[in-house]
């Protein structure tokens, strides 16, 4: 069963994102509980680094997903503008000529 507009890549990205968010939520709860329950001054340097790294990881994954989607959308739009030909060698005639160039002989 395929939903409209949701590819397999999108589904996997959403599942991984939900898993990362859940993992960071548990890490944050654990670090904050340790900071509140400890007799020390609060968040240690190590706890701050763990939180920074985990949130930075989520931002990196989100950024790569958004970049992929934008790139794919631009590729689709370019293909539509070119009449279905997204890439490949140009068959247009060079400037000043009236016909496309002849293929080179490999003799």
- Domain assignment present for residue 90? The answer is no
- Write phi, then psi, for 103 (nearest 5 degrees): -65, 145
Query: Does the pLDDT value for residue 23 go beyond 80?
Result: yes
Q: Per-residue pLDDT tens for 35-74?
A: 888 877 777 788 888 888 878 877 887 788 888 888 888 8
Whether residue 95 is contained in a domain is answered as: no
Q: How confident is the model at residue 5 (pLDDT cuts 50, 70, 90)?
A: low
Please give the pLDDT value at position 41. Answer: 75
Q: Look at residue 99 and tell me whether its pLDDT is greater than 80.
A: no
| Confidence band of 98 (pLDDT split at 50, 70, 90) | low
> What's the predicted TM-score (pTM) here?
0.49
Domain that holds residue 74: 8-80
| 1-21 mean pLDDT | 74
Cβ(47)–Cβ(31) below 8 Å: yes
Q: Mean pLDDT, to the nearest integer, of 87-100? A: 56
Give per-residue burial for 35-60: e unless 16+ CB within 10 Å, then b. eeeeeeeebeeebeebbeebeeeeee
For the chain, what is the domain count? 1
């Amino acid at each position: 069963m395929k939903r409209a507009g949701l590819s397999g890549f999108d589904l996997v990205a959403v599942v991984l994102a939900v898993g990362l968010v859940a993992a960071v939520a548990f890490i944050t709860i654990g670090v904050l509980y340790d900071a509140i329950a400890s007799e020390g001054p609060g968040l240690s340097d190590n706890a701050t680094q763990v939180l920074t790294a985990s949130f930075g990881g989520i931002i990196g994954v989100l950024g790569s997903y958004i970049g992929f989607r934008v790139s794919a959308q631009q590729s689709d739009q370019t293909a539509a503008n070119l009449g279905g030909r997204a890439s490949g060698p140009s068959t247009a005639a060079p400037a000043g000529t009236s016909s496309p160039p002849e293929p080179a002989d490999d003799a």
